[in-house]
Chains A and B, each alone.
Chain A
Amino acid sequence: MGAVTKARPIRKPRDRRPRYQAFFALALNAWIPSWFKGGIFQGGIKGVCVPALNCYSCPSAMGACPIGAMQTFFGGLRFNLSVAQKKFGLYVAGLLATVGSAVGRMPCGWICPFGFFQELVHKVPSPKIKIPHFLTYFRYVVLATTVVALPLLIVDQFGYGQTWFCKWICPAGTLEAGIPLMLIKADLRPLIGFMYYWKLGLLALFLVWFVISRRPFCRTVCPLGAFWGLFNKASLFRMAVDDEKCTLCDKCTKDCPVEISIYKSANSPDCVRCLKCVSSCKFGAISYEFLGKKEVAVDLRVKKPA
């Protein structure tokens, strides 16, 4: 008769990601004095594009939004105007591609304050609705039109393009800059008009969607996520699923903040590489690899067969 062992209390692996998300949200918006001065941070480091959708007109934003910066380059790229700039946005595109080819969409899952905000709002109790997969392709339309084509092709009376995504869509700008600046800068309030109410209404609609669906903005609208998603299959950081260990229990899909089934496509462009699936898989079937180093998190509650 074998020795009887006492059952030990099991410690569930702790998800540390929200701490990182909170840290980065604060770090990217750390210049608190601006809130009291009634302006925005204007330090020399603000030309650094942050790896997240974080509006540079947020009073305390420490860096530049790459999507806003990209539209500025495309909007100002004119060869027929003597005063226009002849700059292609190589700095921003190169920086985004550097991040993308290193880790793919990982900043969406760990750094982006707006992604973190959506995850927090989704905790509000309510009936939850899944997002149909075909809607996820809309983010490529947003990237191709509002960030690239429209700023390049449609010009105002002065011959320049506009920042179409920032102007007509971006709810992060309304939340992080539009509302705070109206609260702290009284001289801007008389300028409130149709556009402000349009963006406020859009933000309200998104807020409702955040409550009922998981990270809907990231999955269906965000042009930054669309761009980085293109690198997921070719980045240094890679996800992998061991088909022999996977039992298709679908626990990873249930825990996934973007509701993907990683066993169907390990490096899907939709994956934000939060690694929640790695820790939620009881069978150690999901792993990730970076610079030749492979990591697998195995839940010790599951005993290996003898």
Chain B
Amino acid sequence: MKRRLPWILLALSIAVMTAGLLFGEYRTVLEKAITVCLDCIGIG
């Protein structure tokens, strides 16, 4: 079980990431990332 745990975690993580991509979350991150983040630079 101990040797399988990392593989199970990895499979679950990839599944979660894929689900996020299918829900269109890449677009949400992109929209945030291409806009200057006023909070990050200290004027938000």
Query: Contact size class for A?
Result: 35 or more
Q: Which residues of B contact A (CB under 8 A)?
A: 5-7, 9-10, 12-21, 23-30, 32-34, 36-44
Q: Which residues of B contact A163 (CB under 8 A)?
A: 37, 39-40, 44
Cα A93 to Cα B30 in complex, Å, equals 15
Q: Which residues of B contact A181 (CB under 8 A)?
A: 36, 41
A40-B36, A49-B29 known; A188 and B43 CB under 8 Å? yes
Nearest 7 Cβ contacts at the A-B interface: A94-B17, A91-B20, A47-B30, A90-B20, A94-B16, A97-B13, A173-B40
Q: Which residues of B contact A61 (CB under 8 A)?
A: 33
Cα A85 to Cα B20 in complex, Å, equals 13
Cα A101 to Cα B14 in complex, Å, equals 10
Q: Pick from B6, B23, B37, B42: contact of A234, CB below 8 A.
A: B6
Q: Which residues of A contact B28 (CB under 8 A)?
A: 72-73, 76, 85, 87
Q: Pick from B21, B24, B36: contact of A57, CB below 8 A.
A: B36
Cα A94 to Cα B17 in complex, Å, equals 4
Q: Which residues of A contact B25 (CB under 8 A)?
A: 73, 87, 89-92
A170 contacts B20, C-beta separation under 8 Å: no
Q: Pick from B10, B23, B34, B37: contact of A46, CB below 8 A.
A: B34
Q: Pick from A41, A101, A182: contact of B6, CB below 8 A.
A: A101
A193 within 8 A of B: yes
Residue-wise, chain A 44-77 has the 8 Å CB interface mask toward B (1 for contact) of 1011010000011100010111001100110010
B29 contacts A47, C-beta separation under 8 Å: yes
A191 within 8 A of B: yes
Q: Which residues of A contact B23 (CB under 8 A)?
A: 87, 90-91
Cα A192 to Cα B39 in complex, Å, equals 12
Pick the most buried of B26, B28, B36, B40: most chain A CB atoms within 10 A of its CB.
B40
A68 contacts B13, C-beta separation under 8 Å: no
Q: Which residue of A lies closest to B34 (CB)?
A: A42
A to B CB contacts below 8 Å, 27 in the list? A40-B34, A41-B34, A47-B26, A47-B33, A56-B32, A56-B33, A64-B32, A89-B25, A91-B25, A91-B26, A94-B13, A94-B17, A95-B13, A100-B9, A100-B13, A101-B6, A167-B39, A173-B37, A178-B40, A178-B42, A195-B42, A195-B43, A196-B41, A196-B42, A196-B43, A199-B42, A235-B9
